[in-house]
Amino acid sequence: MEPSNPLRSRRRFWLRVLLALLAVAVLAGIFLHLRPQPVAAVRLAHLRSLGYPTSTAELATWLPAVADSNNLCIPIRTAAQALRISTGGKVPWVMGNRTDLPRGQAWPEDILAATRAYVTNNAEAFTGMAEILNPTRTAGRNPLNVAQGFSLLLPHLSEFKGLTQGLAAKAGLAAQEKQPREAVEAVRAQLAIARSLDSEPYVISQLVRIALDTLACTTIEHVVNRIELDDASLARLQQEFETRSELKPMVLGLVGEFCTARDALSDSANSATLLATPTPAGGPAPTGPSGQMGLYAALGFLRQDQAAYIEMMTDLIDIARLDPWKQVEPLQHWNQRLAGFKWYQGRLFTRMLLPAIANVTVKETTRIAQQRCTATALAILRYRHQHAGQLPAALTDLSPGLLATTPIDPFAGQPLHYEKRAGGFVVYSVGTNRADDHGRERSKGQAGDAYDLTFTLEGASPSPR
């Protein structure tokens, strides 16, 4: 009888173990591939019932075409590309070597000279305002190949942002030089640029749109603290800010993001690899799946990942459609669910993608609050025109004549706050902490959220026209 070989026995043992593990993995993969996903199917049907697309192919045909004669983006791109210099990312009305000028304070000569030179050097770009404000330009559409998915580049976003910053400088200079019409047109052009991105189906586009809308609020706040506008100008601006404060374009951004990621999270390891390693600008796309992604897909985890993403993302879209003050508890619960996901449950990409957009609805609510404060402040200025310089005792004095109803703070579901201050006033929302900080503004570098979202008119009346 041949003596046993311990080394050979160990090899056979580990071979059996490996074969058993492989068999378990294969069976688990088969189970996960065949496992029904009723929740995902229901969520997809729900999105379609709301009229939204659920894939990039559907998204490409869902977005309506816009004729060149009506396309707001065409004159915006032309003007943006004509900018000779940028603001360098600075607060546009502080073009010199000083920062944080108080509202209403006259600009020092160095800042005034730098801003005047900037506006003069970019005169060609700013002449495009007339076409941007052309009422026939009713919609915006940039050329987008949505089939490129996460590889799609959006260079126009930085161009649009640069032009909006430039218009803030132009509006500020116009206010300094007592040119109300030019200041108003610059602010209206800022709002038009933001509006041109309303239907762009990407979260990053919507975040830029929020930044542009917010900059328009800050710009008009600085303008009215330096110069008095007539009632017709105030009424027009009020109506435009009111209209924008009722919109929630972030929903479309989330829908587009959903379509893009859902396609990438197909049962194709190659798609997952493309998602994991996005194509760099000008670089070649990945040509094949990595071994890890191939195994992730083969074991059925990618399919489960897609189902989890569909469930979580459609829930977030539904949350974004709610009135802002009704989003708080659902969003908290959504974030708790997301935090509980583990990679080994087949949630790798869901955990990777969703945290980056978890708070976009809060950013949208912040924008809505700022625009409602702005529209309300403009109505207060109109009231002051109509009542010999007197301010209203309360916001209820503005309706129904100047406001249809008292505006609601989107963070609280209650009316916005209003306080008179030594000849001036502040209108404010309680902001993200949902606590009344009595109109306290956020200071430079301040941590935390113990501040309100405000629109302030300083006590000193602006210079008359």
Angle at 356 between CA 429 and CA 241, to 5 degrees: 35
| DSSP conformational letter for 355 | G
Q: Which residues of 115-124 are buried (b: 16+ CB within 10 A; e: fewer)?
A: bbebbeebee
Predicted confidence at residue 464, as pLDDT, reads: 42
288 token code pair: 């094949």
* pLDDT tens readout for residues 250-271: 999 999 999 998 888 875 545 5
The confidence band for 156, taking pLDDT boundaries of 50, 70 and 90, is: very high
pLDDT over threshold 90, residue 123 = yes
Q: Which of 300, 340, 202 is nearest to 260 (CA)?
A: 202
Beta-carbon count within 10 A of 451 CB: 19
Strands 424-429 and 417-421: antiparallel
Question: Between these two residues, 209 and 107, which has the higher pLDDT value?
Answer: 209
> How far is 226 from 99, CA to CA, in rounded Å?
17
**How many angstroms separate the Cα of 367 from the Cα of each of 26, 156, 171, 210, 410?**
50, 21, 21, 6, 10
Non-local (6+) Cβ contacts of 147 within 8 A are 56, 57, 60
Cβ(453)–Cβ(431) under 8 Å? yes
Angle formed by the axes of helices 250-264 and 360-386, to 10°? 170
* pLDDT tens readout for residues 315-324: 999 999 999 9
Angle at 445 between CA 442 and CA 446, to 5 degrees: 50
| Percent of the chain surpassing pLDDT 70 | 81
> How far is 426 from 49, CA to CA, in rounded Å?
43
Cβ(438)–Cβ(429) under 8 Å? no
> How far is 362 from 357, CA to CA, in rounded Å?
10
Is pTM beyond 0.95 here? no
* pLDDT tens readout for residues 64-95: 889 999 999 999 999 999 987 766 655 555 55
Average pLDDT, the chain: 85
* pLDDT tens readout for residues 409-464: 999 999 999 999 988 999 999 999 999 998 888 877 677 788 999 999 987 545 44
Question: Between these two residues, 12 and 191, which has the higher pLDDT value?
Answer: 191
Q: Which of 32, 29, 35, 54 is nearest to 310 (CA)?
A: 54
pLDDT over threshold 50, residue 136 = yes
Largest Cα–Cα distance of the chain, in whole Å?
A: 117
> How far is 219 from 216, CA to CA, in rounded Å?
5
| DSSP conformational letter for 139 | B
365 sits in which H/E element:
helix 360-386
> How far is 216 from 223, CA to CA, in rounded Å?
10
Beta-carbon count within 10 A of 176 CB: 21
